């Protein structure tokens, strides 16, 4: 029902909502008289209409409330339920106007509202000194629980002033909101006190490579329907979430092709069995994967092979694949074909493809692996002599090896600067072969990535061109010639720009013999021991071992290595400003409710035990309410770079 005298009143929404529920009534002339004070008897009647509360104590009759008094039963109920009491002289004073402070004390007492009681009244209210000592904690609790509605001045609580019918209606409605029995009414006059606390947990990058080349991880076959492909991606992402991973490295360009809709390169052979053939029914696997990762709090880094052109002779290259459009810069190499990194058309194609994805898709990272110039074949030389000679003829002075390294370096530097100019929040990472050069450090033996793959990963790290380096340390801990801890510490010691180091770990070697799950567990523990040197996580190759639980690795991750969830580490050189804390956080019964926000990536929920705050869960951005057991919680906002706000404290 709408009353004639509240149409422009600040409390209209509260009054009408209570009227619709039969909790308040107006007068015979169609008015509500919102500015009329409310008596103690009227307030007792309002309480009885609004709340269902069981008696807590036996009734003691008041000398000034006869059994025939119109509100006698309501007064009795208000006393028995603990909402209201009388005066020391045994009276109730039913006709006396009730003070605002008495209304809040009644609601907090009768409904058993609990809060920290730490709302700083003197900071919130200019007239806090007028609040009687006996009511301070109750008013602090009323403030924390959203019961205080102060019109026309949020800074004046007017505790001793008689409550009006409009004010009593708004206070009672807010109590029903707190109980979760009515919807929230947005009002500028509700005092919103927010207690915040600094909370945190140990951050760690936890990722897996998902390879599509040779259908290693996805799709399991080149004949799958769209529904089957999507089901496999869901299984991958669900598995990562269940193991408390927080990122996926998804291969989208294994050989000059595309796992996504592109005008620059053809659909991948590994997706449909025919290069250039889209999935059917049509969909964009990358766009779809991004949406699924958002729902599961997984960062998605897209993985490009910059120069590999074909790995299988089954593949028939079609335009606009570079082997079809520019075959003169694509060379046979063993059973594969390889683009010439020194050719301008190759450099421009690789750059354009990566920037195209960067601009069109909401990815979290751009990722390159260890394939730059191809791995050597005994007795063969990479056939780029014409390209090198053209460079020399144009005045170039670098040796062949330095020129090759420079070709790769220029791509890495160009990508680094362009990523930061285009989308500064997107991370750039490379996972090079784990040995930089034999003898660095002294005991290390193996392939020389600097001199044979022409990959100067040390330069990329020390120039700060990458945000993270993920050296593929696919060896065990103990053998000295390729020792996991020795190599990891060497890389960490070269990290003068203080970027992140996320070593790659080889799950495909797990055999229950020389390689068992304890080896992987120890490797993660070693990584964590180098946290101070910014070794801040691990990337596992590959997803198949996690899906099949090879040698129990999934079980060990779930029960021991990654027992609890974690956010990725913050990269302060990108952006480290904390986001705005969650807004409109409130407790409705046993539910914690808050408002959505456009710039949020996720929410973190902590629970207090003594003086310790422990992370309970990481929630997707679409979540705005939770049912919780009783306790004290802190809710934080997390942005796309994993910066975390202060926690808004809520007592359930």
Name the strand (E) or helix (H) holding 527. helix 517-529
Tell me if the bond preceding 573 is cis, omega within 30° of 0: no
Tokens (6 digits) for 573: 């050189």
d(CA 473, CA 432): 9
* Omega cis (within 30) before 281: yes
pLDDT in the model for residue 120: 80
Identical fold for domains 205-573 and 576-651, yes or no, is no
Please report the pLDDT score of residue 588 as a whole number: 82
Structure tokens at 436: 């930089």
Residues near 636 by beta carbon (within 8 Å), at least 6 away in sequence: 199, 581, 582, 603, 604, 605, 606, 644, 645, 646, 647, 648
Q: Which residue from 296, 288, 304 is spatially nearest to 365, judged by alpha carbons? A: 304
Which pairs with CB-CB distance under 8 Å and at least 24 residues apart come from 311-319? 311/213, 311/214, 311/254, 311/255, 311/335, 311/336, 312/214, 312/269, 314/269, 315/255, 315/269, 315/275, 316/269, 316/274, 316/275, 317/256, 317/266, 317/275, 318/266, 318/275, 318/276, 319/266, 319/276
Separation between Cα atoms, residue 188 and residue 556, nearest integer Å: 52
What local confidence, expressed as pLDDT, does residue 476 receive?
96
Could you tell me the maximum CA-CA distance found in the chain, to the nearest angstrom? 113
User: 333-354, pLDDT tens digit by residue?
Assistant: 999 999 999 999 999 999 999 9
- What is residue 144's predicted lDDT score, i.e. its pLDDT? 87
pTM of the model: 0.82
C-alpha to C-alpha distance for 32 and 26, rounded to whole angstroms: 4
DSSP track, 203-227: --EEEEEE--GGGSSS-S-TT--HH
* Beta pairing partners, 650: 633
- In Å, how far from its chain's centre is CA 242? 15
Retrieve residue 328's tokens: 């003169």
Buried b (16+ CB within 10 A) or exposed e, 115-149: beeebebeebbebbeebeeebbbbbbbbbbbbbbb
Contacts of 239 (CB under 8 A, 6+ apart): 543, 546, 547, 554
Phi, psi torsion values for 597, nearest 5 degrees: -150, 140
Residue 392 φ/ψ, nearest 5 degrees: -65, -40
Domain boundaries, the chain: 11-195, 205-573, 576-651
Residues of the chain with pLDDT under 50: none
Report in angstroms the alpha-carbon separations of 102 from 21, 38, 147, 262. Answer: 24, 12, 13, 68
Among 584, 577, 594, residue whose Cα is nearest residue 639:
577
Topology classification of domain 576-651: Immunoglobulin-like (2.60.40)
Report helix, strand or coil for 303.
Answer: strand
Structure-block tokens of residue 448: 């020389």
Q: Where are the alpha helices (DSSP H) in 118-164?
A: 121-124, 136-144
Q: What's the start-to-end Cα distance of the chain, in Å?
A: 34
Q: What φ, ψ does residue 629 adopt, rounded to 5°? A: -80, 160
| pLDDT tens readout for residues 521-564 | 999 999 999 999 999 999 999 999 999 999 999 999 999 999 99
**449-472 CB burial, b ≥16 within 10 A, e <16:** bbebbbbbbbbbbebebbbbbbbb
Q: Which two tokens stand for residue 552?
A: 């129990």
Contact 335, 313 (CB under 8 A): yes
What tokens does 419 get? 């990523």
Q: Are 165 and 213 in contact (CB under 8 A)?
A: no
Contact in structure between 238 and 296 (CB atoms under 8 Å) = yes
Q: What CATH topology corresponds to 205-573?
A: TIM Barrel (3.20.20)
CA proximity to 142, closest of 126, 127, 124: 124
Half-sphere exposure in the Cβ direction for 523 (13 Å, CA): 29
Residues 406, 398 contacting (CB under 8 angstroms): yes
CA angle, corner 384, sides to 381 and 385, nearest 5? 90
Instruction: Compute the distance between CA of residue 527 and CA of residue 533 in angstroms, rounded to an integer.
Output: 10
């Amino acid at each position: 029902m709408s009353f004639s005298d509240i149409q422009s009143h600040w409390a209209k929404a509260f009054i009408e909502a209570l009227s619709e529920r039969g909790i308040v009534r107006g007068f015979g002339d169609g008015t509500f008289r919102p500015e009329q004070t409310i008596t103690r008897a009227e307030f007792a009647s309002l309480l009885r209409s609004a709340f269902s509360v069981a008696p807590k104590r036996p009734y003691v009759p008041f000398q000034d409330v006869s059994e025939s008094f119109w509100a006698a039963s309501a007064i009795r109920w208000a006393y028995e339920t603990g909402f209201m009491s009388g005066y020391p002289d045994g009276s109730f004073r039913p006709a006396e106007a009730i003070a605002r402070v008495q209304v809040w004390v009644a609601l907090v007492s009768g409904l058993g509202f609990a809060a920290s009681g730490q709302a700083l009244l003197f900071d919130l209210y200019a007239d806090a000194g007028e609040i009687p000592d006996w009511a301070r904690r109750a008013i602090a609790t009323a403030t924390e629980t959203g019961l205080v509605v102060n019109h026309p001045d949020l800074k004046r609580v007017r505790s001793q002033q008689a409550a009006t019918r409009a004010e009593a209606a708004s206070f009672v409605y807010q109590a029903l909101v707190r109980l979760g029995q009515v919807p929230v009414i947005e009002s500028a006059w509700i005092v919103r006190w927010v207690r915040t606390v600094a909370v945190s947990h140990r951050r760690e990058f936890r990722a897996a490579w998902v390879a599509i080349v040779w259908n290693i991880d996805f799709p399991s076959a080149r004949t799958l329907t769209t529904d089957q492909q999507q089901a496999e991606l869901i299984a991958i992402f669900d598995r990562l979430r269940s193991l408390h991973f927080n990122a996926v490295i998804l291969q989208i360009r294994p050989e000059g092709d595309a796992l996504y809709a592109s005008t620059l390169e053809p659909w991948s052979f590994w997706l449909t069995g025919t290069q250039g053939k889209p999935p059917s029914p049509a969909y964009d696997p990358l766009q779809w994967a991004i949406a699924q990762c958002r729902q599961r709090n997984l960062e998605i880094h897209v993985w490009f092979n910059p120069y590999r052109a074909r790995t299988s002779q089954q593949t028939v290259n079609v335009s606009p694949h570079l082997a079809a459009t520019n075959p003169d810069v694509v060379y046979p190499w063993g059973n594969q074909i390889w683009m010439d990194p020194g050719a301008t058309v190759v450099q421009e194609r690789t750059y354009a493809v990566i920037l195209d994805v960067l601009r069109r898709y909401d990815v979290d990272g751009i990722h390159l692996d260890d394939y730059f110039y191809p791995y050597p074949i005994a007795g063969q030389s990479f056939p780029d002599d014409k390209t090198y000679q053209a460079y020399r003829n144009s005045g170039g002075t670098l040796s062949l090896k330095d020129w090759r390294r420079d070709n790769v370096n220029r791509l890495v530097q160009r990508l680094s600067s362009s990523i930061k100019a285009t989308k500064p929040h997107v991370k750039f990472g490379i996972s090079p072969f784990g040995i930089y050069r034999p003898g660095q450090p002294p005991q290390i033996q193996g392939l020389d990535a600097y001199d044979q793959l022409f990959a100067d990963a040390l330069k990329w790290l020390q120039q700060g061109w990458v945000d993270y380096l993920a050296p593929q340390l696919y060896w065990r801990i103990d053998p000295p010639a390729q020792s996991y801890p020795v190599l990891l510490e060497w890389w960490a010691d070269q990290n003068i720009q203080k970027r992140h180091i996320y070593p790659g770990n080889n799950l495909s070697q797990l055999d229950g013999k020389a390689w068992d799950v304890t080896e992987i567990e120890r490797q993660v523990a070693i990584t964590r021991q180098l946290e101070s040197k910014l070794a801040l996580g691990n990337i596992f190759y590959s997803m198949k071992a996690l899906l099949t639980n090879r040698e129990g690795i999934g079980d060990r991750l779930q029960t021991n290595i990654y027992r609890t969830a974690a956010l990725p580490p913050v990269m302060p050189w990108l952006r480290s400003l904390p986001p705005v804390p969650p807004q409109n956080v409130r407790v409705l019964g046993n539910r914690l409710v808050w408002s959505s926000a456009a710039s949020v990536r996720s929410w973190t929920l902590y629970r207090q035990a003594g003086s310790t705050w422990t992370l309970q869960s990481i929630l997707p951005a679409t979540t705005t309410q939770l049912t919780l057991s009783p306790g004290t919680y802190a809710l934080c906002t997390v942005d796309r770079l994993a910066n975390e706000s202060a926690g808004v404290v809520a007592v359930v």
